[in-house]
Amino acid sequence: MEQILKEGLDYALFLGAEYADARYSRLDTESISVKNGHVQGVDSHFDYGIGIRVLVDGSWGFASNPDIYDKNRMKKTVDRAVGLARAAAKVSSSRIQMVPKPVVRDSWKNDFVEDPFQIPLSEKLELLLSCSNKMSALDGVAISKGSMDFLREEKLY
């Protein structure tokens, strides 16, 4: 993925961008819900894509694309971002200037005790249903609901 992003950045600079950045993002989600001792919903989903931001003629342009592995689509995404920046520059009365700063390379990871995406669905449902049943057993409880929502995000700039 890093190589594809680098090629996109190189292409943006080739087209005349004064600055360009590229990012890859993947978002995994899982939602589980129960009500009154019954499963209401289970949903697992992921989204991913790339985004290209460029500064051309003192104006910003941005374009994104979910087709992350196709080099031709990457070029079209860069073309779109550069085109939007050029269009914005034609109507803008001011120009953005970047302050020269060195590139910073860094990494960040959030530690956790147990990855919820590695826990079997049956275990998560068992816990939720058990809690729902315990809530329902209490005097005065008419409706018992429980849910679990999990999110995992990966980004590469």
Query: What residue spans of the chain are helical by DSSP H?
Result: 2-14, 71-91, 121-136
pLDDT category of residue 30 using cuts at 50, 70 and 90: very high
Amino acid at the residue 28 = D
Whether this model's pTM surpasses 0.85: no
86-104 residue pLDDT tens:
999 999 989 998 888 888 8
pLDDT at site 28: 96
Average pLDDT over residues 132-151: 95
Mean pLDDT, all residues of the chain: 93
Element (H, E) at 54: strand 38-56
pLDDT at site 77: 96
Could you give all domains of the chain from N- to C-terminal order, each with its CATH number?
2-152 (3.30.2290.10)
pLDDT at 68 over 80: no
33-51 residue pLDDT tens:
999 999 999 999 999 999 9
Average pLDDT over residues 109-138: 94
**Which residue reads 């989903």 in tokens?**
45
